[in-house]
Structure 1
Amino acid sequence: MKVLFVHDGPMLCNLDKTVFYGVHYKDEIVERYSFFGDVVSFLMRYKTIPDAEGEKYTKISHPAFKPIEVPNYKSIQSRLKKGEAEKIIEKAVAEHDIILLRLPSANGVIAQRYARKYNKPVFVEVVACVFDALWNYDWRGKLMAHYKMWKYKQHIKDSKHVLYVTRDFLQSRYPTTGKSIGCSDVILKHFDDSILSKRLAKIDNQAEPLIIGTVAAIDVPYKGQADVIKALYLLKQKGKTNYIYKIVGQGKPDLLQKLIDKYKLKDQIEIIGSLPHDKVFDFLDSLSLYIQPSKQEGLPRSVIEALSRACPVLATNIAGNPELVDNEALYKAGDVKALVSMLENPENLPLSKWSANNFAKANLYTADVLNEKRLAFYREFLKDNNIIFK
């Protein structure tokens, strides 16, 4: 059996396009999809990086992995490449036995159309809200947000098997008439009760400064790191400077760095950039407080990973965040003044309570629990499509 996984990407690779690196797509994801077949082709656009930069990421080395490149046709300058992309996607769909679509995704929408043409079984994963992504991007996104949301509602409504990464949020916005399950795609590092004990001791002995961190793409405006930077500036205006903000994530730091320079906060803010996935957990352990300031999410992987390290978390009240953290740890997305109010007196934040509650919640997202749910739904998908389980 040959499996085709379709998303927009990008997939990171070296300049020769012979070595591929994982950020969202790693060996663990390939292994997950290899449940369906011996070949797992990842169809998406590529982004080449120098070998030296590749050291920041984890190489994809799973024997089932096969990359298929699709040209980027989303920008005005590259629109003419859409025809080329359609041919690549149609050929790939025709040559594979099972089609896995991660939505929202322009490539996924095209692949869904050809899957129907060639009568291929389709499994859909819904990982984010297209409306929130577009509405919080820029003015051009706002022009398309309502239409795109309506279109994706149709794509998902008619899908026969849908996996949502949230428990409630995405299901309510993009319901399906087919079978569905809510199951996060997070892959948690092993954790035990000693992590909570160490965290509580760290909180009890908390010394200034308060070390805050965020893990998210750094060149996507709706991820919201700029709001935290603005909050630190307003706190500085009040004479409060005992905060360090560390930013981890892939992408160009230009816009955030410009803001840091504007507010003269270089002594308080560090843009770390990308980290290999196994190093992210060490980063989370080093923090006093994790902040997820995004304006668009599905069920944020980085928040769940922070929970597994018993890290106190502040998050915006959007998407799947309310499913993960205490209500009193939520604030309105984009409300910088509310964030300032929460951070102004960190000694009043119930960090120990949040830490214990977060750690307990993380147990709902262990690999064993999620894999059992996911595999049961995979088997149901195969049975419904008369595919013999290997």
Structure 2
Amino acid sequence: MKVVFAHDHVFKESLDGNLYTAGSFNNEVWKRYLNHFDEIIVAARLDSKKVEAINKYNNFDLHQTSFLPIPSLSGPIAQFKNKSEAIEKIKKALIESDALIARLPSEIGNLSIGIAQEMGKPFAVEVVACVWDALWNYGKLQAKIYAPIAFNKMKRAIYNAPYAIYVTNDFLQERYPCSGKIENVSNVEIKDVMEASLEKRLESLNLPKEKYNIGMIGNLNNRIKGWDIALKAIGILNKKGIDFQFHILGDGNKEKWNDMARSLGVDDKLTFTGVLPSGEPVFNWLDKIDVYIQPSFQEGLPRAVIEAMSRGCPVVGSAAGGIPELIDNSCIHRVGDFEGLADSLLNIITNRNFAKEIAVKNHIESRRYQKNILDKKRNNFWNEFLNHINSN
């Protein structure tokens, strides 16, 4: 059984022609599908720039997986130039395959669904974020104009999908309902939530601190992560005399945010770690963070927040997407409210008992997202989809 997986994710290629991915798309993710399908064709974008520091990225090298580069469809100009080529490539892949899995929001996913419907191919959708929030908060007029078009396109695709799996418990289901079979399963990958992580965290919170380590994970080119909100908030902390270091983990161009930090007088407070492979390297990084922040304008159910929670780390986040489903309401600020973020940070930094209370709550909540629990729900969903394919 062969399946096409369609998404806008950008793959990396090394100088010797090997493929890599950043973020959460590691080989363990592809194995989730390979438990049910014999082969996966991944239809996604390919970065035109070759990479050298390959140890920072995840390998894409399972022999049951193959990569199909699709030209960018982001924006009207790219769609005008590249849509015909994209249709030809996707159609050929679907002819050779039994079904489609489209991860939304994505232009490649939307296009693939339309082609699958025309061909009568079974398809399922993975709903991981809200396209309206992403485009409306992107900052450009063109994105705001396109937001309602993309929203309605995604809403129709999900409503008409025979199978849909959501990463949130409620948020995305309410915004993008589906008339078919649905399930909610986070795409996070936490093998075990260790009690030792919480014990270590509580010991750390009992120690006197001269400097606090604030952490955030995300692509620096992605404004919707709320980098500007984070910098304005730490600017307030700096004016209040709090000694801290802001640690940033993620790929992308840091110059814009360095310039903004300089204008706020906190450029010496920033540490750019770059990219780390997922798993233990990220967990080790999180263990050195005193409070994790996620001031996003748009989210599904953020993987980094759950990973931080599993290490007993206090987390402060915006009200975007599924974040309020994860963390205590006292740690939530309105989207775009940098003053609210600063207040929440101060509350954790200056109130040790509160920080310990939040650490325990986060650790307990994260247990719901352990691999063995999520795998059972996910496997049941894909088994039903597999039966649906066979019946067709």
Task: Specify the TM-score bucket, using the shorter chain as the normaliser.
Answer: over 0.9
2:390 match: secondary structure: coil
2:293 match: secondary structure: strand
Structure-to-structure mapping, 1:305-320, within 5 angstroms? 305-320=307-322
| 1-structure distance, mates of 2:148, 2:76 | 21
Q: Is the 8 A contact 1:227 1:336 kept in 2?
A: yes
2:321 match: secondary structure: coil
| 2-structure distance, mates of 1:271, 1:184 | 28
| 2-structure distance, mates of 1:383, 1:319 | 32
Q: CA-to-partner distance for each residue in 1:78-103, whole Å, 9 max, x for gaps?
A: 43122111111111111111211101
Structure-to-structure mapping, 1:1-390, within 5 angstroms? 1-15=1-15, 17-75=17-75, 78=78, 79-138=80-139, 139-238=141-240, 240-278=241-279, 279-344=281-346, 346-348=349-351, 350-386=354-390
| 1-structure distance, mates of 2:156, 2:51 | 42
Shift of 1:180: 0.2
| 1-structure distance, mates of 2:277, 2:49 | 15
Deviation larger for 259-268 or 280-289: 259-268
| 2-structure distance, mates of 1:137, 1:298 | 16
AA of the residue aligned to 1:13: E
Q: Is the 8 A contact 1:22 1:60 kept in 2?
A: no
| 2-structure distance, mates of 1:301, 1:85 | 30
| 2-structure distance, mates of 1:308, 1:342 | 20
Q: CA-to-partner distance for each residue in 1:336-382, whole Å, 9 max, x for gaps?
A: 11122223352226111111111111110000000000111111122
**Structure of greater relative contact order (alpha carbons < 8 Å, 6+ residues apart):** 2
AA of the residue aligned to 1:34: L
1:45 match: secondary structure: strand
Instruction: Give the TM-score taking structure 1 as reference length.
Output: 0.95
Q: Is the 8 A contact 1:103 1:128 kept in 2?
A: yes
Q: Percent identity?
A: 34
- Deviating 4+ runs (over 4 angstroms): 48-51
Q: Is the 8 A contact 1:133 1:222 kept in 2?
A: yes
| 2-structure distance, mates of 1:226, 1:207 | 26
Q: CA-to-partner distance for each residue in 1:207-237, whole Å, 9 max, x for gaps?
A: 1211100011111111012211111222333
**RMSD (Å), alpha carbons:** 1.7
Q: Is the 8 A contact 2:220 2:252 kept in 1?
A: yes
2:172 match: secondary structure: helix
2:272 match: secondary structure: strand
Q: Is the 8 A contact 2:105 2:128 kept in 1?
A: yes
Q: Is the 8 A contact 1:15 1:48 kept in 2?
A: no
Deviation larger for 282-291 or 77-86: 77-86
| 2-structure distance, mates of 1:258, 1:89 | 41
Q: Residue 50 and residue 146 in structure 1: after superposition, are their counterparts in 2 closer, same or farther (change >3 A)?
A: closer
| 1-structure distance, mates of 2:213, 2:387 | 50
Q: Is the 8 A contact 2:26 2:278 kept in 1?
A: no
| Unmatched tracts of structure 1, length 5 or more | none
| 2-structure distance, mates of 1:277, 1:290 | 17
| 1-structure distance, mates of 2:36, 2:3 | 7
AA of the residue aligned to 1:244: Q
Q: Is the 8 A contact 1:21 1:54 kept in 2?
A: no
Q: Between Structure 1 and Structure 2, how many residues are aligned?
A: 387
Q: Is the 8 A contact 2:292 2:313 kept in 1?
A: yes
2:52 match: secondary structure: helix
1:244 match: secondary structure: strand
Q: CA-to-partner distance for each residue in 1:146-166, whole Å, 9 max, x for gaps?
A: 222122111110101000000
2:53 match: secondary structure: helix
| 2-structure distance, mates of 1:363, 1:336 | 30
Shift of 1:254: 2.3
| 2-structure distance, mates of 1:158, 1:228 | 38
1:187 match: secondary structure: coil
Deviation larger for 129-138 or 344-353: 344-353
| 2-structure distance, mates of 1:372, 1:3 | 21
